Amino acid sequence: MPRVKRGVTKHARHKKVLLAARGFRASSSRNYKWAKEALIHAWDHAYRNRRERKGDFRRLWIIRIGAACRQSGTTYSRFIYGLKQAGVELDRKILADLAVRDLPAFEKLVALASQHSDGAPQEAAPKEANEEATEAEPAAVEA
């Protein structure tokens, strides 16, 4: 059986790694050993951040919807509650796009949501007992 030499295979593998590591800093783009290590970390970060990006976009959409809601005189939570009560099944991506590109349509949705959120729970008012307790404390400090 003939002897198998791996020179061509090794060279091809090294070339593939070094091509993938182009643009990395210092030895990470020129030295196979460090390029391979850097690629492993780069791929780990890319995998993790592809998943994080979903949450980042959701947070961005919520911020945009909230800003448009405040312009229309309501809050984000009341708007979403009203849409759920009205049976509107638009996701946050579409709502944010409407808020940015088509404000009149978004304001119609706000009006619809406000019609259906009349029974929404109101924010709790501060308790009067706490106010009396805070008024008594400064007198005790003065004495």
> What CATH number corresponds to the domain at position 42?
1.10.1900.20
Provide the 8-state DSSP code for 102: -
From the centroid of its chain, how far is CA 5?
51
Provide the 8-state DSSP code for 143: -
What percent of the chain has a predicted confidence (pLDDT) above 90? 76
What pLDDT, on the 0 to 100 scale, is given for residue 119? 61
**Interatomic CA distance for residues 133 and 101, integer angstroms:** 50
Q: How many domains does the chain have?
A: 1
Burial of 141 (0-12, 13-18, 19+ CB in 10 A): exposed
Structure-block tokens of residue 113: 């949501």
Q: Would 20 be classed as within a structural domain?
A: yes
Contact assessment for residue 19 and residue 25, using Cβ atoms and an 8 Å cutoff: no
For 22, the domain range is 12-116
**Interatomic CA distance for residues 21 and 15, integer angstroms:** 10
Residues 96-143: pLDDT tens digits? 999 999 999 999 999 999 998 776 555 544 555 555 555 555 555 554
Q: Would 122 be classed as within a structural domain?
A: no
Q: Would 21 be classed as within a structural domain?
A: yes
Q: Higher model confidence: residue 56 or residue 143? A: 56
Q: What is the pTM of this model?
A: 0.70
Q: Any idea which of 20-24, 38-42, 115-119, 139-143 has the lowest mean pLDDT?
A: 139-143
